[in-house]
């Protein structure tokens, strides 16, 4: 179901009408003016960091205001500053006036601790990214809701609190809410846990709900479920939502107005349709252009039709033992081959077994039955020596570049490691090759002696790629190589990846959850669901005319970065 009303109301630039269900009020609920946040670094020995430099925006009654920006733009710091959650190294300046219709206005910045605690949860609530981590695992959800109500609404009786708790869970559309009160957090799925968090945040009818990347950690289909709940919530409660996100698809789906931030400053503020249709700031245009979209034209495949695949899974089954010793099947009879020179994307949600397959190819996961053949060797059958030798012909790029490089190695040492160990290079020859590799991923060769903590995520992922291609691999396994990166960085890293692949011509198993990224890069796509291969085939066919329901669901769940198209999809989905 969808509501068309706010869309028409909020397409105007100034003072949109309040959305349905909101308390009609004259002014904004939250008025942020010239907010600044400065962090003292290293007790004043290092220069101060100005994380937020004079940010102003209004939150109108009943609206969803999206604050978008890449990492380091100050969007999260802004929200934390509003609630006084920044700790003692931060100095917050400016003003943030909270005051919904019929409620006492209060200045949040510089508020003393006691008064601030009273505002938190009761008038401004917050939902974080990691919902499972934010719920206390040893108490039932009912108890935690009850505690929240007891703290902020002491005049309710026990029965009233229970009633309210049930009502809240119903509000976020959990089935059998009365029953669910007795559940512990681990009994909920990720999406349900996030919905419980939202219910908890709404317990005291706050004027503003700050949602910091509320769906970022979730799979697309689960994200869809949470976004739907948030969207329908607006018809039922008067709370304004400040949605902090980096995902333009989510913005297009949910937001009424958008604040674009960069480097601690507001670059542009506009209603959502206007922002996507006619972005005024150059940065907004860049940001929108960098978002990958499905529907790239056909391109020739790099596969050279050799008879022997670079990587072949034959009826692969992978089982792990859980804590009680029971076998859990992560991969369930998958057959898949990657030909030399082609990029095969392995797509699926978390728990689909896609990472397990990648790990199997690297010999990091146990093969329960079936077989894996990597660049001509079969781990588990051939001698460990032969398998290790084969590793020299496989490159790996992991998801989190900051964690996959040894923090004690300079980046030069990291890149040189395979050359040193497998190729036995030493001295000036090694230095020359290392410098060449860094230059081939567009990093200055003089950076060899820098350490990982001195580089940004995108630069580190370039280092990872340099390390992976250092021996001219026959096969490259990339496990979500861009999902920890900002969109603009992701775009450049993907571009680099494509160039490198074309010049070196290696086969590649590209593991990803992001269909748009896959669409830009892959020759063939294989969709996994709960350990089984759902569908595989050429990219244009699988993503263009999917044969299986699950693939269609996956495609439909990912929000497209276009409010018009997204609204149309919602209408289509509702029918």
Binding site for another protein (CB under 8 A): 362-364, 387-392, 394, 396, 398-400, 403-410, 412-413, 417-418, 421-422, 428, 430-431, 434-435, 445-446, 448-449, 451-453, 464, 467, 477
Q: Scanning the structure block, which residue is given the tokens 């028409």?
A: 8
Nearer to another protein, 399 or 551 (CB): 399
Beta carbons of 168 and 209 less than 8 angstroms apart: no
- Nearest CA to 272 out of 554, 6, 556 is that of 6
Secondary structure letter of residue 120 according to DSSP: B
C-alpha–C-alpha distance, residues 351 and 188, integer Å: 16
Give residue for tokens 């994200």: 223
Q: Which is nearer to another protein, 3 or 431 (CB)?
A: 431
Question: Shortest approach of another protein to residue 91 CB, angstroms?
Answer: 24
Tokens encoding 116? 């601030």
Q: How far is the CB of 343 from another protein (least distance, A)?
A: 19
Shortest distance in whole angstroms from residue 94 CB to another protein: 32
Nearest to another protein of 227, 360 (CB atom): 360
| 388-394: long-range pairs with CB below 8 Å, 24+ | 391/362, 391/363, 391/422, 392/418, 392/422, 392/423, 392/471, 393/471, 393/473, 393/474, 393/475, 394/361, 394/362, 394/473, 394/474, 394/475, 394/476, 394/477
In the complex, minimum distance from the CB of residue 30 to another protein, in angstroms, rounded to a whole number: 38
- Cβ proximity to another protein: between 19 and 493 the closer is 493
The whole-angstrom separation of Cα 384 and Cα 246 is 44
Nearest residue (CB) to another protein, 75 versus 467: 467
CA distance 113 to 348: 46
Of residues 197 and 360, the one with the C-beta less far from another protein: 360
Cβ proximity to another protein, 191 vs 363, nearer residue: 363
Place of tokens 């570049």: 401
Closest CB 195 distance from another protein, rounded Å: 31
User: Residue 408 Cβ, how far from another protein at the closest point, in Å?
Assistant: 4
Q: Which residues contact 307 (CB under 8 A, 6 or more apart)?
A: none
Question: Pairing state of beta strands 257-262 and 64-68?
Answer: parallel
Smallest distance, another protein to C-beta of residue 400, A: 6
């Amino acid at each position: 179901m969808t509501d068309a009303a706010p869309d028409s109301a909020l397409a105007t630039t100034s003072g949109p009408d309040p959305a349905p269900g909101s308390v009609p009020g004259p002014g904004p609920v939250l008025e942020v003016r010239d907010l600044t946040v400065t962090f003292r670094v290293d007790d004043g020995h290092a220069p101060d960091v100005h994380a937020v430099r004079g940010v102003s925006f209004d939150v109108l009654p009943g609206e969803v205001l999206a604050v978008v920006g890449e990492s380091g733009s100050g969007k999260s710091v802004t929200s934390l500053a509003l609630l006084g959650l920044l700790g003692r190294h931060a100095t917050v300046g400016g003003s943030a006036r909270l005051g919904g219709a019929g409620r006492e206005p209060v200045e949040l910045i510089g508020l003393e601790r006691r008064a601030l605690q009273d505002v938190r949860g009761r008038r401004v609530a917050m939902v974080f990214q990691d919902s499972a981590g934010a719920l206390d695992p040893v108490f039932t959800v009912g108890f935690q809701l009850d505690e929240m109500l007891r703290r902020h609404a002491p005049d309710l009786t026990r029965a009233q609190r229970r009633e309210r708790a049930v009502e809240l869970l119903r509000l976020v559309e959990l089935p059998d809410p009365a029953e669910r009160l007795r559940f512990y957090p681990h009994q909920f799925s990720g999406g349900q846990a996030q919905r419980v968090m939202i219910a908890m945040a709404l317990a005291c009818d706050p004027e503003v709900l700050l949602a910091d990347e509320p769906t970022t950690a979730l799979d697309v289909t689960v994200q869809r479920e949470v976004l739907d709940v948030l969207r329908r919530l607006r018809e039922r409660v008067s709370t304004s939502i400040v949605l902090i996100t980096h995902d333009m698809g989510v913005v297009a789906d949910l937001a009424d107005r958008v604040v674009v931030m960069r480097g601690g400053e507001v670059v542009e503020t506009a209603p959502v349709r206007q922002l996507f249709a006619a972005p005024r700031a150059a940065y907004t245009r860049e940001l929108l252009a960098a978002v990958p979209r499905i529907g790239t034209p056909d391109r020739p495949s790099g596969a050279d039709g050799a008879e022997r695949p670079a990587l072949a899974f034959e009826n692969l089954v992978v089982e792990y033992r859980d804590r009680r010793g029971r076998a859990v099947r992560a991969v369930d009879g998958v057959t898949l081959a990657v030909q030399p020179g082609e990029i095969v994307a392995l797509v699926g949600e978390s728990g689909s077994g896609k990472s397990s397959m990648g790990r199997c190819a690297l010999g990091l996961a146990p093969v329960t039955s079936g077989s894996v053949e990597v660049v001509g060797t079969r781990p588990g059958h051939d001698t460990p020596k032969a398998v290790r030798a084969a590793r020299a012909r496989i490159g790996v790029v992991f998801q989190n570049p900051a964690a996959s490089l040894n923090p004690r190695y300079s980046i030069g040492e990291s890149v040189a490691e395979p050359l040193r160990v497998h190729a036995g290079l030493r001295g000036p020859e090694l230095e020359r090759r290392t410098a060449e590799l860094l230059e081939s991923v567009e990093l200055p060769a003089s950076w060899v002696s820098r350490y990982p903590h001195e580089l940004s995520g995108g630069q580190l992922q370039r280092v990872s790629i340099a390390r992976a291609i250092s021996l001219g691999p026959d096969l490259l396994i990339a496990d979500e190589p861009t999902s920890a990166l900002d969109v603009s960085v992701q775009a450049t890293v993907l571009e680099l990846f494509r160039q490198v692949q074309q010049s070196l011509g290696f086969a590649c198993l590209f593991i990803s959850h992001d269909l748009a990224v896959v669409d830009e890069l892959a020759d063939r796509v294989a969709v996994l669901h709960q350990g089984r291969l759902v569908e595989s085939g050429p990219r244009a066919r699988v993503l263009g005319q999917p044969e299986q329901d699950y693939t269609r669901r996956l495609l439909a769940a990912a929000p497209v970065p276009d409010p018009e198209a997204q609204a149309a999809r919602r209408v289509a989905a509702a029918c």
